[in-house]
Amino acid sequence: MPQSGRALLEAASAASPTPKGVSLHSVTKVFGDVVAVAELNLEVHAGEFFSMLGPSGSGKTTVLRMIAGFEDATSGSIELDGVDVTRMAPFDRNVNTVFQDYALFPHLTIAENVGYGLRVRRMGKSETAERVERALQQVRLAHTADRLPHQLSGGQRQRIALARALILQPSVLLLDEPLGALDKQLREEMQVELKQIQREVGITFIFVTHDQEEALTLSDRIAVFNNGCIEQVGTPNEVYEFPQTAFVAGFLGISNLIAPAHASVITGIDKLISVRPERVRLADAASAVAADETSVLGTVYETVYTGPATRYIIETAAGLRLTAERHNDHHPTAAAAFGRGDAVRAIWKTDHVSIVP
């Protein structure tokens, strides 16, 4: 499909009366006496790259497996393109999955793996071969057609798993931590490739990850999971800059969560507030503060050099610890601006603070 695939799909969904995409209505899943997912409601729009982000055990993979049909929901309903699929078997759902460890069939060649879904649907041999060829070209692995999965590298296997799922042109593609087993550099390359492929094919992607950076990089929208519930759904910008709960603020990047007791003293707001380390500036204790800024005095408790930036952990007299991040944009040999024990003033723009409801 051309670049306009997504636009076409969106137009189609706007025109047709049935709602496209995936919707979950008060879905609950109980394993024994453990509630894995509790009364979950979720709308995933057609054609979007949607991430389910959360720590392990937060229920995100269970939700994915229920959408795929590998697990039955204990209660609630799941709709796919307006059709109730709650009790449908996986092979009857127009959904395909890319598994965490790829799940390629070890006894089949790459071409047979990619063509498996077509063969099962009894598609003709020549058409299958043609479509397999095209799918392999799409992931730039046409030359591996006759190899066995164990002869491929992790990144290649990952792309084959993707090709095997996409060849069936599902209305939703589910990805279960697909990049988890790759090393950092390959992971970043694959992120770019995934995003490109998603834009090309225009299929809804539901992507499970515990890596907040990955979710922020890839997604149109993110659902943050915790303890079987969704804490917040929003665009990457929304969930990062305007966390609705303390958990979201803490899980996405580093956050200075200032408890109401401290917040009321420093800012006069008697609520839990959050300010990101990159928005906190450090200055000498004696330096002046502008009218639109808030500041607090403290001493440097620890410094952490991360390469592109240095993090300073400040402790105030009241015992509050704050993190300030400073880009290392100075001369490479210059000494750090502050050392342990220095008295400093942590300053931020008053309106850069977000209040956590």
Partner 1 sequence: MTSTVPRVTPAEPGGVTTPGPGRVQPAGSKPLSTRLHRSPRLRLLGLLALPLTWLVGVYIFSLVMLLITAFWRTDPFTSKVIPGFTLDNFVRLVENPAYLSTSLRTLSIALLVTILSVVFSIPLGIFMAKVASPWLRAFLAVAITLPLWAGYLVKILAMRITFTENGFFNSALEPLGLSGPGFSYTTVVLTLTYLWFPYMALPVYTAVRQIPANLFDASADLGARSWTTIRTVVVPLLKPALIAGSIFTFSLSLGDYLAAKFVGGSTQMIGSVIASNINLNPPIAAAFSVVPIVFVLVYLFAVRKTGALDRM
| Interface contacts to partner 1, rule CB under 8 A | 68-70, 89-91, 95-97, 99-101, 103-107, 116-117, 119-121, 164-165, 168
> What Å distances lie between residue 195 and 113, 147, 215, CA to CA?
23, 27, 11
Q: How far is the CB of 102 from partner 1 (least distance, A)?
A: 9
**Cα–chain-centroid distance for residue 118?**
30
* Cβ closest to partner 1, residue 116 vs residue 247: 116
Distance between CA atoms of 304 and 254, rounded to whole angstroms? Answer: 13
The nearer residue to partner 1, 108 or 269, going by C-beta atoms, is: 108
Contact between 168 and 96 under an 8 Å Cβ cutoff? The reply is yes
Shortest distance, CB of residue 173 to partner 1, whole angstroms?
11
Closer CB to partner 1, 120 or 259, in the complex: 120
Alpha helices in the chain (DSSP H): 5-15, 60-68, 110-114, 116-120, 125-138, 154-166, 184-201, 212-218, 236-241, 246-251, 260-266
Instruction: Considering the complex, state which of residue 160 and residue 272 has its C-beta at the smaller distance from partner 1.
Output: 160
Complex with partner 1: residue 106 or 307, whichever CB lies closer: 106
Taking the C-alpha atoms of residue 321 and residue 315, their distance in angstroms, rounded to an integer, is 4
> CB of residue 112 vs partner 1: minimum separation in angstroms?
9
* CA–centroid distance for 276 within its chain: 19
Helices 125-138 & 154-166 angle (0-180, nearest 10): 130
